[in-house]
Structure 1
């Protein structure tokens, strides 16, 4: 990937993390279409349709067994209560005789209650029947738990496979995004979308899908059983449904924007933390810890406020649902008691109904409490979709062209380019780089030197004109083909966590051990590798902290050497090393440039005296070109740059 430098800033970054001391002023909140984003997120489950059907079937079985349980326990209660009452009645009489006697004595209320029961005077509790009922109730609850566990197991696979595909999709998307996208996004904020938001989506799907499916089925099953037991009591319980929906919608509407702000602030805070840690030494050098702490505190406060508000407001749903459930419980207990007293219902049926009322209000409360989890997950999903919907780099042409011969001849024909429409950078630039030439590009900051390199590599697309490589327009080549013919050594070295051998072979994965050793020897890497404890098997961390800056640079040169490109780009490759190491680096680069077309971007003009052609750029145009001697003799822009570097410092006059 290209590295942009201070002399060539691309499109301006949003002020969300402008350097270790910059401000972060963008608002966190933005509008969100909850319904559309939620549907799109659920659409990601489409490949799991069959497994979701199995999850639904298992949930139906589990809920059915769970719903039948209270009905059986109610029958058990009826057996116990009827047995106790039967035992107290005179043996040998019938239930009808007992009821008639009570009515004759004026005790109509007790007679009404006994008329709604099944009694055998003098018999007592039928323990055999009670044991059978309790056994089947236990069996139902055990089976319900088994199927519930199976449902959770299958659903876990569904969610994890979905998230796995999401991560693959995001990774593929990132590889298709143009460099300009990363220039405009703080790295920590982007990492937050790829990690924190995806993890939050996974958690939200895992918990909410299971709860929502089970809760909805439970509500349906319980309603059916309540209507069977008592339509009157069922009507009382159903009053809670519209009330629940109104309360949930009222609270969710006010908490949604806070969830969006919560995850936006999380991304911005991560961006600031990553930025501060990367520039930690710089923060210490300039003594700006207080400012950094103040910025962190401000963003942390913003995140706290958004998170607290989102969780507190959405958390009000559960207590509200519990309160409504308690009111329903009291109403059912009172009306149910009157029904038993009047003989319209048996005691066990009322007990079962009370259990059903709990089963009814609990899933409603769970559905309400799921609102905050769903809102949080959909807020993260929208941030993920924002990444997935970003404009991609243009497709490679079909069919693509490829040079028939590889020489490394590069031609710019009237090339124009600008990062933003109102700020021209390169206008009508033309040049020819012949095979084997070393071309140095110099100029003041912002002249367009690194931009020129970015255009060669097609990190950015030109606005007009064309660039030819060995006679073929690079816009008609695949990016892979183009970049495989070019090697690049940057000012900012990049190594990954792995051995020295792996880091060198990154330039050509199919390279043999002999090829790697030859590249290391030619670029003077072999000299210092043998002083390391494990030689080429020495493991480097991703910061290369166990080798020096010069050694890191030599490794990147060896990597480019091994790739054997036809065009070589050296972008300030010696600017961060000491003079002694620079000699080795220069020798390594001389070996690397041999028989290759080379472009060298340099600020230290002493390093490019031997270049075949020196291009002097100002404001995106080539104002001078020639070799070192010719340009000095011309007494133009190059001579002024050269003189400025070697002029003695002028003492201030007092």
Structure 2
């Protein structure tokens, strides 16, 4: 699919609107109390700071001309007190909002991770992992400040503007209108660039996602890269993606810097106009120097909140591009889930029935069509056939990793779509072709699916699959730490640990998808001895390309042409001299 590439921009399926912002407010309301306290502290700090120009005006117009030294010291001490108090209150507020911001990050990230755990396989089939990771980590970091400090600061700056306007008009009405004269110009520029800004930051979001996806892919496949000496070529791809990101970032930043540039210049021009109007057009009787000085100070203070608001607006535009992606992920439907009124699947015997099952990954392109078969409890079934025929799809449908396109699958006579996923999968042991090892100890990895298992039970499972011997060769044995994906282990060792993990769950139905593909022939023979005992009483589905490993199964199904082309025991299928016979004969000749 086009979306499953690192070099293809993701199309935004749910553009940002006001409902997204209302959803974001849910996280803000959870921290309502500390945010109110922070706002009150900010308002008090701002009010104290605004008294400074009035003190300055009085000192210039009254205290200094009167040469009153003692009052001058008093007013200086009061000015110092306003500065210290304002800074102290702002510091407390900053500490509160830092905690609030981190709490919001925690809440959003937890909701994202919880939702990602529930999304079906198809969601991950369609996207590079890097494009998912960047939403949970980078994008959440990017929006946290806007959802915490941004809201408080926006309200505070509005209040500041009102306070400053009141103080300005109380000092001089005429010069106040001079200060306000630059607002129409500022608002006009904002309206002109707002749409371009949003699109620019959406582009930055896309290029950042692409870069992260390729980086994650490159790290995961570094071994293959070095084997084929692709370092230089891959560097070229990375450089191109990084350059695309740089260009979009610079384009977006140019639009962002236009606003503070405008505010700074308007503030300078307005201040100049105050001195021009105050000194050249008004008489000394109408306008004292202290008033002009106070109004120039208020002019700077008036345009500072506007600059702050414009920066907040920039940050909001940036955050919108990320919020869109975050909420798009949270809105991704959990298509494979418990239906309303789903029942717990009781302890099963292991009978599995496919009743006219049809399945397609993409609409209109069926992988399986009208498949029907019945597997008795305790029966071992081998699924063989050409690559891409649908063998893995069959076992994925038994596990209900995907919803059926048509038909139904029964387990002990119960439709698996009508029972809870947990009660279904808890009775299944599934070992996929890719043996994934988590970071942690070998003991933790084996016990991953059954946390209450004792150490003795873990060791017993490892012995059954011939993993105990190599585990004990490590200095710390079962307490040996392994890296993510088990890089310290061979592929065969990783598969044996995964096997032990699956068997420890004591499942009623066992699914093995190429489970022994990376184990040497000697180990496989030893493993088969243990498996023969463990498979007794369990229904098992085994996928294997090496037919020698499945010839003893109760039944072999040859999957081809969207269905089951042949079914029977090894001897029966050989006697039919059909698909299975030709495949088995070809492998025997190659051996």
Q: TM-score per shorter chain, which class?
A: over 0.9
| 1:161/1:404 CA distance change after superposition, 3 Å | closer
- Cα separation, partners in 2 of 1:174 and 1:28, compared to 1, 3 Å: closer
Is 1:411 aligned to residue 353 of structure 2?
yes
Alignment partner, residue 72 of structure 1: 55
Residues 595-610 of structure 1: pairs in structure 2 closer than 5 A: 595-610=537-552
Counterparts of 1:432 and 1:27, CA distance in 2: 43
Shift of 1:65: 0.8
2:225 aligns with 283
Q: Distance in 2 between matches of 1:219 and 1:147?
A: 19
1:283, CA displacement in angstroms? 2.5
What's the CA shift for 1:80? 4.1
CA displacement, residues 245-270 of structure 1 (integer Å, 9 cap, x when unaligned)? 22223233322211111111111111
Moved more, 356-365 or 128-137: 128-137
> 1:297 Cα deviation (Å)?
2.2
- Give 1:526-541 correspondences, 5 Å limit: 526-541=468-483
**Residues of 2 paired with 1:566 and 1:642: CA distance?**
30
Tell me, what secondary structure is at the counterpart of 1:414?
strand
- Measured in 2, the distance between the counterparts of 1:558 and 1:226 equals 77
Query: Offset at 1:340?
Result: 7.2
The reply to whether residue 235 of structure 1 matches residue 177 of structure 2 is: yes
Larger displacement relative to structure 2 (170-179 or 248-257): 248-257
Report whether the alignment pairs 1:140 with 2:82: yes
Partner-residue secondary structure (3-state), 1:400? coil
Cα distance in 2 between the residues matched to 1:606 and 1:33: 57
Matched, 1:452 2:394: yes
Query: What residue is the counterpart of 1:188 in the other structure?
Result: 130
Question: Partner residue of 2:342?
Answer: 400
| SS of equivalent to 1:615 | strand
Counterparts of 1:130-279 in structure 2 under 5 Å? 130-205=72-147, 208-279=150-221
1:372 paired to 2:317: no
1:63 matches 2:46: yes
The alignment partner of 1:496 has SS state of coil
* 2:263 corresponding residue in structure 1: 321
SS at match of 1:82: coil
Shift of 1:405: 4.6
Q: Which residue of 2 aligns with 1:297?
A: 239
Q: Report if the CA contact (8 A) 1:435-1:596 is conserved.
A: yes
Q: 1:404 to 1:313 in 2, by over 3 A?
A: closer
- Deviation of residue 627 (structure 1)? 0.8
Q: Does 1:512 align with 2:454?
A: yes
* Aligned structure 1 segments of 4 or more residues deviating by more than 6 angstroms: 27-31
Residues 217-265 of structure 1 deviation map (CA, whole Å, 9 limit, x = unaligned): 2222111110000000000001122222222232333222111111111
- Deviation digits for residues 527-586 of structure 1 (CA, Å, limit 9, x no counterpart): 112211001111111121222221111111111111000000000011123323333443
Q: Deviations over 1:83-109 (max 9, x none)?
A: 2xxxxxxxxxxxxxxxxxxxxxxxxxx
| Counterpart-to-counterpart distance in 2, 1:616 and 1:526 | 35
1:562 alignment partner in structure 2: 504
8 Å CA contact 1:438, 1:597 repeated in 2: yes
Note the C-alpha offset of 1:522.
Answer: 1.7
Q: Which among 254, 278, 284 is matched to residue 336 of structure 1?
A: 278
Cα shift readout 1:464-517 (whole Å, capped 9, x = no counterpart) = 221111222111110000000000112211111111111111121111122112
Q: Cα gap change, 1:243/1:42 in structure 2, threshold over 3 Å: closer, same or farther?
A: farther
| 1:599 to partner: Cα distance | 0.3
Q: Which moved more, 1:173-182 or 1:129-138?
A: 129-138
Correspondence for 2:30 among 5, 29, 47: 47
With over 3 angstroms needed to count, the CA separation of the structure-2 counterparts of 1:577 and 1:648, relative to structure 1, is closer
- Is the 8 Å Cα contact of residues 448 and 619 (structure 1) preserved in structure 2? no
| Offset, 1:134 | 2.3
Contact 1:69 1:137 in 2 (8 A): yes
TM-align CA RMSD: 2.1
* Contact persistence 1:332–1:354 (CA under 8 A): yes
Q: 1:29 to 1:311 in 2, by over 3 A?
A: farther
The structural deviation recorded for 1:520 is 1.8
1:341 is displaced (CA, Å) by: 4.3
Return closer, same or farther for 1:405/1:378 CA change in 2, 3 Å cut-off: closer
Task: List aligned pairs for 1:110-129, cutoff 5 A.
Answer: 125-129=67-71
- The answer on whether the counterparts of 2:130 and 2:217 sit within 8 Å (CA) in structure 1 is yes
Does residue 544 in structure 1 map to residue 527 in structure 2? no
CA distance in 2, matches of 1:345, 1:559: 86
* Cα distance in structure 2, aligned partners of 1:523 and 1:489: 13
Please say if residues 437 and 596 of structure 1, whose CA atoms lie closer than 8 Å, have aligned partners that are also in contact: yes
Q: Contact 2:143 / 2:322 at 8 angstroms: preserved in 1? A: yes
Match of 1:422 among 364, 367, 386: 364
Is 562-571 or 303-312 further displaced after alignment?
Answer: 303-312
Corresponding residue SS for 2:433? coil
> Is residue 41–residue 378 contact of structure 1 (8 Å, CA) maintained in 2?
no
Counterpart pick for 2:287 among 337, 345, 359:
345
Query: Per-residue displacement from partner, 1:624-649 (whole Å, max 9, x unpaired)?
Result: 11111110110011111112222359
TM-score computed with the length of structure 2 as normaliser: 0.95
**Any idea what SS the aligned residue of 1:419 has?**
strand
Q: What 5-or-longer segments of structure 1 have no aligned partner?
A: 1-11, 18-23, 84-124, 650-654
CA distance in 2, matches of 1:130, 1:464: 89
**Higher CA-based Rg:** 1
The 5-angstrom pairing of residues 458-477 of structure 1 reads 458-477=400-419
